[in-house]
Amino acid sequence: MLSILLSATSAQAIALISDEETEIFLHQTLRPVFKASGTAFNPRRIYIVNDKSLNAFVADGNNMFVTVGTLMTADSQNEISGVLAHETGHIEGGHLLRHKIQAKEVQMVSLASMLLGSAAGIAAGRADISIAAILGSQSTAMHGMLTYQVSEERSADEAAVKLLKAINQSPAGMLNFMKKIQKQNTIQGIEETSYFRTHPVTTERIAFLEKATKESNAPKKGLQEKEFARIKAKLYAYIEEPKNTFIKYPESDNSIPARYAQAIAYFKQMKMNKAMQKVDGLIDDEPQNPYFYELKGQMLLETGKIAEAVKIYQKALKLHPNSSLFKLNLAQAMIENHPTAEEQQQIVDLLNQVLIYNPDSYAWILLSRAYGMQHNVAGYNYAAAEYSLLMRDIRLAKQQIEQALKSNPSNALKLKINDLKLRIKDIEKEQN
């Protein structure tokens, strides 16, 4: 669960963060908004941007981007719902068509989650990264992604108010967010915030939202406020220095979000006794929370207590059996724990399950290692070829494919290899 910054491959790169707990919260928040608008919902198209500024934007294909700064600054889930509803309003209004992004830039953004997730795992030397900054530069890609006109902003506001009403949420959160943006830009000499530059905030827009808020009797809190307080604390502890975490979440604060942040801060300081005491206390209070076990598993793995980490990751997966993250965590720990032949097959099965839903994953590297343990040369080279393709090393991928085909692959594996060859041919055609 370390923040791992990688150098950007492009000046237009966007830095992304991957964290399953936060992503699930965003899915739960955005899904009803998209449903109310009739917009197709795809959880793999929601991205957390590693930028402390207040910003959110949408891109082609209904890709939704929210900065970590927005998540850490928001006061409630209702506020996040308002931000996401506003961005959905831009989709409804067809504003993206008027601000068409070049296809290569959109593809590059997709690669942030696709390729560099693997690189992050390699940089860390392990797969159990709950938070990993996946791509490097804090450049102009986000700030210049879209710049709306005031008329489009008002149109998106009107759509957002209707969407919030449809899901029984007050516009109060959206109003609060807009006021925060406006306040930041009234301080003389302070550069305009990213959100203000791309989403101009006017007095007229504020007045509209104030009127809408007064007319609404809907709740000003969301259904996952408790979860939101925790992910805020978690993100803060990973993004900020431990000393800042202990200022915001002092030891005198015994709430679960505070202790969550404190456990992570002690972990970052490598004060493992204190970190373990905190996480054990959290588990005692909420023995059904899989993410507390996940944090403890990482602490154990980090300190070389691999067998214990395996057991803890098994508990986390039992509590959340559909989690790709936990399957990846468990497979990683089992590989490091001198697995038996039976356990090696369990590892292969776990990783193949991960790759069904997350084909753009560091799991390919782990799967290659697992096949190597089984002396399955064809599988070893095939998985390595998939990873090489993710890293856009087509030459190496083709060499590994040939090695796989020479090693008597099973019929099922042959089909996968042939599919990989076809994908490589398609990429080569696009490049020529």
CA 98 to chain centre: 28
| CATH number, position 38 | 3.30.2010.10
Is the same domain home to 424 and 278? Answer: yes
| Averaged pLDDT, 366-388 | 96
Contact 43, 25 (CB under 8 A): no
Give all strands of the β-sheet with 46-49 in edge-to-edge order: 56-59, 63-67, 46-49, 16-18, 132-133
Residue pLDDT, tens place only, 245-274: 999 999 999 999 999 999 999 999 999 999
Is the same domain home to 190 and 303? Answer: no
Is the same domain home to 203 and 254? Answer: no
Checking if the pLDDT of 125 tops 50, the result is no
- E strand or H helix that includes residue 59: strand 56-59
Residue 204: strand, helix, or coil: helix
Nearest to 365 by CA among 404, 391, 343: 391
Give the type of residue at 66.
V
Query: Distance between CA atoms of 23 and 47, rounded to whole angstroms?
Result: 8
Q: Is residue 235 part of a domain?
A: no
The residue among 284 and 128 whose pLDDT is bigger is 284
Is the same domain home to 191 and 268? Answer: no
Domain region containing 364: 241-431
Give the type of residue at 139.
S
Within a 10 A sphere around the Cβ of 150, how many other Cβ atoms? 13
Is the same domain home to 74 and 144? Answer: yes
66 phi and psi, to 5 degrees? Answer: -130, 130
Contact 135, 7 (CB under 8 A): no
Residue 48: strand, helix, or coil: strand
Checking if the pLDDT of 42 tops 90, the result is no
Is the same domain home to 250 and 114? Answer: no
User: What pLDDT sits at residue 213?
Assistant: 96
Is the same domain home to 245 and 210? Answer: no
Is the same domain home to 63 and 118? Answer: yes
User: What pLDDT sits at residue 51?
Assistant: 87
Question: To 5 degrees, how large is the angle CA 16–CA 123–CA 386?
Answer: 80
Q: Is residue 220 part of a domain?
A: no
User: What pLDDT sits at residue 122?
Assistant: 36
Query: Distance between CA atoms of 40 and 62, rounded to whole angstroms?
Result: 8
Query: Distance between CA atoms of 285 and 167, rounded to whole angstroms?
Result: 32
- E strand or H helix that includes residue 88: helix 77-92
- DSSP letter (8 states) at residue 46: E
The structure tokens listed for 254 are: 């015994």
User: What pLDDT sits at residue 11?
Assistant: 37
The structure tokens listed for 50 are: 């590693």
Question: pLDDT band for position 92 (50/70/90)?
Answer: confident
Checking if the pLDDT of 281 tops 70, the result is yes
Question: pLDDT band for position 183 (50/70/90)?
Answer: confident
Nearest to 360 by CA among 139, 47, 84: 47
330-361 burial by CB neighbour count: b if 16+ within 10 A, else e?
bbbbbbbbebeeebbebbbebbebbbeebebb
Residue pLDDT, tens place only, 201-250: 668 888 999 999 999 999 999 999 999 999 999 999 999 999 999 999 99
Residue pLDDT, tens place only, 317-359: 999 999 999 999 999 999 999 999 999 999 999 999 999 988 7
Domain count, the chain: 2
| Averaged pLDDT, 68-86 | 94
Is the same domain home to 102 and 208? Answer: yes
Among the candidates 181, 215, 249, a domain finishes at 215
